[in-house]
Structure 1
Amino acid sequence: MPTPKHLFGAHTPDSGGIAMAARRAGNAGMRALQLFTAIPKYYNEKVGVRPERVERFRDALAETSIAPEHVMAHAAYVLNVATPDTEKWERASAGLTKELERSAALGLGMVCFHPGAATDGDRDAAVKRVATAMARAIETVDGDTRLLVENTAGAGTTIARTAEEIAGILGELPRAARARAGYGLDTCHLFASGYDIAADPMAFTTVLDTFERAIGEPPRFFHLNDSEGALGSNKDRHTLLGDGAIGQEPFGWLLGDPRSRGVPLILETPQDAAPADDDATPDPNDVRMIRLLERLAGA
């Protein structure tokens, strides 16, 4: 069986809609894509996706080399399904379910989300609340779209900073729901939360081994971001690869690990400017970063 290829992509600008985001990704030669299905500063718990929007997106995606299973939605940032506040949790949980519903309707392979924060300091209870929200979403929405926990930079009382916490969340899921769940790793978040992936190749491998051992499976995606903050700073501030405290070389180490192949490798790095709605030209920074990754991978 041939070795899976690297699936480089980005969260491309969506001026003009997600169909234009797909075209910009395709025009940059990407093989993966991340997008928002709704405005990310709102819960969107009542927002659906119109059939004509689905059709436009699928038509645009068909023009690219990106398979639908390699497209990931990023859930809204406000969805704190770790909160002990019952009213806020119910709304966030409904928002997560609706996100999975929209993504399934679009035919996307996966949804990633930030679990939120244990604002009362009870991290064990927060882990259970996150799992309950995940299970509710998966059990409500039919289909193959996966729901994936993203590791966090560890600021304040945010959950999923460590391999053990992600393992705890996924371990709370019922067996049927667990089959459609998983996790992914953001390089900036890893570094900011204290995992020294920039020390040497073995250190990076050890970090990936730590997560795989604790959780029982490798990551389903990677977010490729350099870090403005120092090791252990807990700052979630992304920079272009090579412009931050991680540097370019560690991304080459990651690309040399077989766990980086066959899963979406998504840039969330700074972009140049918002394009016009009808302009499918890819972002210059995205293109530059994709070409860098190709060089680091020896493509």
Structure 2
Amino acid sequence: MTFLLGSHCPDTGGIAMAVRRAGNAGMRSLQLFTAVPKFYNEKVGVKPERLARWRAALDETGLQAEHAMAHAAYVLNVATPDAEKWERASAGLAKELERSTALGLGMVCFHPGAATDGDRGAALMRVSVAMTRALEGVDGRTKLMVENTAGAGSTVARTADEIAAILDGIPTALRARAGYGLDTCHLYASGFDLGRDEGAVAEVLDEFEKTIGAPPGFFHLNDSEGALASNRDRHALIGEGQIGAAPFGWLLADRRARGVPLILETPHAVDEPAEDDATPDPHDVRMMALLTKLADGAGRGR
């Protein structure tokens, strides 16, 4: 079994350079920002020359755009009760879907935000409305995916029930273009003990699939600096955090890891490579080797 392993590669020099760094690391997938993630970017498009460079890099590396995904800006709190902030965040999410569709990406993932007034039910509904607006406004095949959260403060989408509530609020006609993904660090930090024993990962995935009615559409593969149920969203290199390496092998042995992007968001050794340097990050290379080894072991175990 060949997995869609990848990383959120550094995009210094542009998104085309992120593709080349992914290709040079032997990745079959990657994650990227389509715009600077600390801004709403509700008016930022994709210029033709940028799109041409992107497509050229895909051709050079053999990577497929539909196996790549975007991570939306961190500031997009579409759960907020603040009407002005929600409008900007909702517009930013729609524009993110538009940019990602122009690039031919398979999906966009986003953090849904926080119920800052304490009303979690209303917050989940606002996330559904923002997703619906984006999907209605942008035609195409690119999917919009909710990411589970580590559960800090009033953030929503920590549990399978909350993600199900968000997706249930999307009209049936649009539902095929909406989904969710799971971050292993977020799961562990929010209280799901992935390292308890060999059956733990499957039990967690069973819970999410049964409650939501579909398996995850992607995974973020991150170890956790924080302890179980700490609600700390602090990623660590696989095998160097509180989860440990073994649960990632259990995940790769699960049917739900097949055919979906499996993306590292672990620390990089070089945060700002030179703009013309397509060398993959050393930590990414090491993590890819570890995951490949774990995948091989998972294959022999089936």
Instruction: Give the alignment's TM-score, normalised by structure 1.
Output: 0.98
Letter in 1 for 2:259: G
Structure 2: any 5+ residue segments left out of the alignment? 298-302
Q: Deviations over 1:5-47 (max 9, x none)?
A: 3110000010100000000000000000100000000000111
Structure 1: any 5+ residue segments left out of the alignment? none
Q: Deviations over 1:40-99 (max 9, x none)?
A: 000001111101101110110122232111100000000000000000000000000000
Superposition map of 1:218-297 within 5 A? 218-273=215-270, 274-297=272-295
Output the CA distance in 2 between the equivalents of 1:170 and 1:189: 19
Q: CA contact under 8 A between 1:79 and 1:96: conserved in structure 2? A: yes
Output the CA distance in 2 between the equivalents of 1:140 and 1:5: 35
Question: Matched residue of 2:13: which SS?
Answer: coil
Q: CA contact under 8 A between 1:138 and 1:180: conserved in structure 2? A: yes
Percent of aligned pairs with the same amino acid: 72
**RMSD in angstroms over aligned alpha carbons?**
0.8
Q: CA contact under 8 A between 1:11 and 1:266: conserved in structure 2? A: yes
Q: Deviations over 1:202-239 (max 9, x none)?
A: 11110000000011010000000000000000000001
Output the CA distance in 1 between the equivalents of 2:64 and 2:217: 15
Q: Deviations over 1:130-154 (max 9, x none)?
A: 0000000000001000000000000
Letter in 1 for 2:47: R
Question: Matched residue of 1:10: which SS?
Answer: strand
Other-structure match for 2:123? 126
Letter in 1 for 2:125: K
Letter in 2 for 1:5: T
Other-structure match for 2:300? none
Superposition map of 1:1-299 within 5 A? 5-273=2-270, 274-298=272-296
Letter in 2 for 1:103: S
Instruction: Give the alignment's TM-score, normalised by structure 2.
Output: 0.97
**Superposed structure 1 runs of 4+ greater than 6 Å apart:** none
Output the CA distance in 1 between the equivalents of 2:62 and 2:186: 29
Q: CA contact under 8 A between 1:30 and 1:65: conserved in structure 2? A: no
Output the CA distance in 2 between the equivalents of 1:65 and 1:9: 14
Q: CA deviation at 1:279?
A: 0.4
Q: Deviations over 1:186-209 (max 9, x none)?
A: 000000000011101211110000
